[in-house]
Amino acid sequence: TRSSRRESNGARADDNAEVIRKRLDVYRELTEPLVSYYSGKGLLRTVDGMAPVEEVTAAIRHALGA
């Protein structure tokens, strides 16, 4: 995986499997619940962050009404 390649290439000291698992645990506990919360209120907007930068920027601006 990308994270294991970064770990073996001498990347950041905090890019290791244990830290990444902890980050994902924190995401699932604190951030993920917000998706259903804001979706239920009709306030959730999604953007494909894997698209080219220009498309992501345009999609964010559109979602924000800018």
The pLDDT tens digits for 2-59 are: 656 655 666 677 789 999 999 999 999 999 999 999 999 999 999 999 999 999 999 9
* Global pTM exceeds 0.75: no
Our measurement of the distance from residue 42's CA atom to the centroid of its chain's CA atoms, rounded to an integer in Å, reads 20
Q: Provide the 8-state DSSP code for 30.
A: I
- Determine if residue 42 is left, alpha or beta; phi over 0 gives left, psi from -120 to 50 gives alpha, anything else beta: left
Phi, psi (deg, nearest 5) at residue 50 = -95, -5
Q: Which stretch of DSSP H or E encloses residue 2?
A: helix 2-8
Q: Provide the 8-state DSSP code for 11.
A: -
